[in-house]
Amino acid sequence: MATLTKRATIYFDTDLHKALRLKSVETSRSVSELVNEAVKEALAEDAEDLKSFDEMAYEPLMSYKEMLKRLKKDGRI
């Protein structure tokens, strides 16, 4: 089954484009493959961050002053 793709125009900084082309040749992968992989990784990181934020949403709020007291009590400052 063929992978569905969409075409997009992206403008790269000249040096970044050169680096992508060189990596493409060295890894025998297309620039599109490299960009797709990088975007997928960035989106996966965003998803992990959002999950962490959701998990922290139910933690009790603590003031800056309380946090400093806790750090001092624990000997971390």
SS3 content of the chain, % helix, strand, coil (to 5): 65, 0, 35
Calculate mean pLDDT across residues 38-57.
88
pLDDT in tens, 1-43: 567 899 999 999 999 999 999 999 999 999 999 999 999 999 9
CA distances from 41 to 9, 30, 48, 73, 77 (A): 20, 17, 11, 39, 36
pTM equals 0.62
